[in-house]
């Protein structure tokens, strides 16, 4: 079944929050591409994003882009959000997307211990994390000191200020998948005893401080999106919140610090967040729970339009086209405000336009080869 039997009109209504004024409810999910030599996005990157905006996407969320900390990430071909050359490249991307009728926000990224111990970018700089622990609990890199935390806050702020000055329509902070901000949330990687670790509220403290510092720097009207997840790249069963109450305790400080939209990352958008609960609560996805406990708009994501779930890294494999009836039911139930489409847009830049025109039978299946080129 590649077509949908439910009306899609609701997904083509405008959406507004702060500086974001979207023509519809579709976003391009952030997907690391590594086609920016020396961290500089070129004309091919601008065209890549422009094509998706021209194909009907309301909001482009860029691939992760490194904040100005020397230990932010390992690869020289991942774009950076600092330096004149990189920011000039991003300005061209922004202008291309705006010219095609879309809006665009950068995903600001620090991998923390996920950077590994053999980086090609700044190889003499040690990787950092809350407690000097890798995701599997082994020692790796070094633990962040109190002065380190202050410098890191400044780096996040600098990247956000750069984004606003470059003409982006907001920002997204990458706090998911076991990267640095998520490493503070997770009790397995945060063993600190200095007020930034221990209780759930203490583990959320540093990410909330980053948000608050950015809010102060960019002003009240510049949209801040925060991406978080239960799962880690190394552990699909991981949870930072085992109950809705714990989820509330995580998200509330972020809301109070100034987040405008939450982007809970899941591998299957329809999967229940807390299936152990009874009744309809046990059927609600993570985006639905996010809206329910935070009161903020939510972006849903995960295998939209495809029949196989996302698997990070090599060997993701091909996926056939699937209908979106489950997504439409979730939207009709008020479970999310915006839907992020990932691999389906790599395969088919006109995926949104085809859906709008009733041509979903023309959607192009995702193939692994779509990750090999920037088209």
Helices (H), the chain: 43-54, 84-99, 146-166, 180-185, 200-218, 244-257, 286-294, 325-332, 343-347, 351-356
N- to C-terminal Cα distance for the chain? 27
Nearest one of 76, 72, 66, 77 to 36, comparing CA atoms = 77
C-alpha–C-alpha distance, residues 57 and 49, integer Å: 10
Neighbours of 320 (CB within 10 A): 12
Q: Give the length of the chain.
A: 375
User: Which is catalytic among the residues 179, 196, 226, 228?
Assistant: 179
Q: Is 179 a catalytic residue?
A: yes
| Cβ–Cβ < 8 Å for 79, 39 | yes
Distance, in Å, from the CA atom of 367 to the CA atom of 375, rounded to the nearest integer, reads 13
Q: Which of the residues are catalytic?
A: 179
């Amino acid at each position: 079944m590649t077509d949908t039997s439910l009306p899609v009109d609701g997904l083509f209504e405008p959406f507004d929050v702060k500086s974001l004024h979207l023509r519809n409810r579709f976003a391009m999910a952030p997907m690391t591409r590594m086609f920016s030599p020396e961290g500089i996005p070129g004309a091919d990157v601008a065209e890549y994003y422009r094509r998706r905006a021209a194909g009907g996407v309301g909001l482009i969320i860029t691939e992760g882009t490194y904040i100005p900390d020397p230990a932010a990430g390992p690869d020289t071909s991942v774009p950076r959000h600092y330096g004149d050359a990189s920011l000039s490249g991003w300005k061209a991307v922004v202008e291309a997307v705006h010219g095609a009728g879309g809006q665009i926000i950068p995903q600001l990224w620090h991998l923390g211990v996920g950077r590994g111990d053999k980086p090609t970018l700044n190889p003499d700089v040690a990787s950092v994390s809350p407690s000097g622990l890798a995701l599997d609990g082994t020692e790796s890199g070094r633990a962040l000191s109190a002065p380190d935390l202050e410098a890191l806050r400044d780096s996040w702020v600098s990247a956000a200020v750069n984004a606003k000055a470059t003409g982006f329509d907001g920002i997204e902070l990458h706090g998911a998948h076991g990267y640095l901000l998520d490493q503070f949330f997770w009790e397995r990687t945060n063993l600190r005893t200095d007020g930034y670790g221990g209780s759930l509220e203490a583990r959320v403290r540093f990410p909330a401080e980053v948000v608050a510092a950015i809010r102060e720097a960019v002003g009240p009207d510049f949209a801040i999106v925060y991406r978080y997840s239960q799962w880690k790249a190394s552990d699909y069963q991981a949870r930072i919140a085992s109950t809705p109450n714990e989820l509330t305790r995580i998200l509330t400080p972020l809301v109070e610090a100034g987040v405008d939209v939450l982007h809970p990352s899941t591998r299957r958008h329809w999967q229940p967040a807390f299936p152990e609960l009874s009744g309809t609560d046990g059927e609600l996805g993570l985006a639905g729970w996010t809206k329910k406990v935070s009161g903020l708009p939510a972006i849903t994501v995960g295998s939209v339009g495809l029949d196989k779930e996302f698997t990070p890294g090599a060997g993701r494999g091909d996926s056939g086209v699937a209908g979106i009836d489950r997504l439409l039911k979730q939207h009709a139930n008020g479970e999310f405000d915006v839907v992020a489409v990932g691999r389906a847009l790599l395969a088919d830049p006109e995926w949104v336009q085809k859906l709008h025109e009733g041509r979903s039978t023309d959607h192009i299946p995702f193939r692994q080869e779509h990750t090999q080129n920037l088209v």
